[in-house]
Each structure stands twice: as C-alpha cells, then as structure tokens.
C-alpha cells in the first residue's frame, strides 16, 4: 500500500504550512499577533502525521517480507485453489508448488505443473 505521487506527504504539507506561516508572520497585525498555542498544536499534528507515515511504511515493508517468506515456505507443498472452468463454473484444483516468483509489483506467484496462481488464491496447504 504505497502512496501515489499525487498524494502529498506529511513533509510536503508541513513545508507548505511553514511557508504560509512565515507569510502570515511577516504580514500580521502587530496589535493582534497569531496565537502561539494554535501554531504549536498544528506543528504537533504535522509531526504526528509524519510519524504515522513512517510507521505505515515500516509495516508495509514487514508485511512484504512476511508474505515473501510465506510464499517461499510453500515450495514443495500441495496447495488447493479455485479455478474457473471452460463452462464458467468454479472448480477446486490441487498442485505441488514447484517455483515461487516475486514480480516487480510485489505480487507473489506460485508455479505448478499446469497452473500459476497468486498467493491470495491459495485455499489450503498440505505437506
């Protein structure tokens, strides 16, 4: 789950906020200064957002690693999975995992003699 390039990160938002804050401070009415508590609260929220983004990225890396390890652990094991038949019905098939492929999108494919399935298609695993 990665952020798209059109989504602003907390750092981007914080930089925009700082530019706006500097402009406000330069043009504020000296008799009515900005509220320090409000500024501090907003800066704290940006810091918390940055920490959440960092945690999310860390969890994403951990999940990817766990999924890769799980996929690799299926080598040589019999898995069952659903396939759509020529008539449009769904049938359960079985196969022994001969190869595990990690594509560039992070998707994990399990290769068997007659089938290639994603890790998400696995219904059961047997030694």
Average pLDDT over the chain reads 86
State the DSSP string of 30-60: TTSPPPHHHHHHHHHHHHHHHHHHHHHHHHH
pLDDT confidence band for 7 (50 / 70 / 90): low
* Residue for token pair 């907003």: 42
The Cα 70–Cα 23 span in angstroms is 52
Q: Where are the domains of the chain?
A: 10-70, 75-126
Does the pTM surpass 0.75? The reply is: no
Q: What is the pLDDT of residues 66-83, one digit of tens each?
A: 999 999 999 999 999 998
């Amino acid at each position: 789950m990665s952020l798209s390039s059109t989504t602003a990160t907390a750092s981007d938002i914080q930089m925009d906020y700082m530019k706006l804050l500097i402009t406000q401070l330069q043009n504020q009415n000296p008799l009515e200064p900005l509220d320090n508590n409000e500024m501090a609260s907003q800066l704290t929220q940006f810091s918390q957002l940055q920490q959440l983004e960092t945690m999310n990225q860390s969890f994403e890396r951990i999940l990817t690693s766990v999924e890769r390890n799980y996929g690799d652990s299926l080598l040589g094991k019999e898995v069952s999975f659903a396939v759509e038949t020529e008539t449009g019905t769904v049938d359960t098939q079985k196969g022994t995992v001969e190869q595990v492929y990690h594509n560039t999108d992070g998707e994990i494919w399990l290769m068997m003699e007659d089938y290639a399935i994603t890790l998400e298609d696995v219904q059961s695993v047997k030694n």
